[in-house]
Amino acid sequence: MFKPKYPPDYTYTPPVTAYTTPPAPVNTDTTAPAPLAQPPVPMPIPQAPARPVVQLTPGSVATVVVGGTAVVLVVGVVLVSLLLAVAITAASVAVVAVVARAILNDSHKGR
């Protein structure tokens, strides 16, 4: 009941793949091959497209400097604000811990 049924071996056919090539015919002719009528023409090499030349003017340099400075300032403000948020949170947790400790100590002394 649980044994698989395999087909008999004589029904097996090997799969055909695209990579199999038929054997090359054997040349039994001993004469020299006929020369080609014209030599093969080499293929032309494609040329790379011409790239535009980047020209730096004083206005473009100033724009890049101002833009870079603005990016640095914005990233700095964001990082400082994140650090400040972490510091405020830590201070709040410390205050809550001190208040909770004082409440617990008072409740134990009152017994």
Residues 26-46: tens digit of each pLDDT = 666 666 666 656 777 787 888
Q: How far apart are the first and last CA of the chain?
A: 78
Tokens of 1: 């009941």
pLDDT at res. 41: 76
Inform me whether the pLDDT recorded for 10 exceeds 70: yes
Contacts of 32 by beta carbon, 8 Å cutoff, 6+ apart? none
DSSP state of 52: P
Domain locations along the chain: 78-111
Residues 51-103: tens digit of each pLDDT = 787 788 989 999 999 999 999 999 999 999 999 999 999 999 999 999 999 99
Tokens of 63: 């724009």
Tokens of 54: 């980047």
Query: CA 20 to CA 14: how far, in whole Å?
Result: 12
The larger pLDDT score, comparing residue 59 to residue 16, is at 59
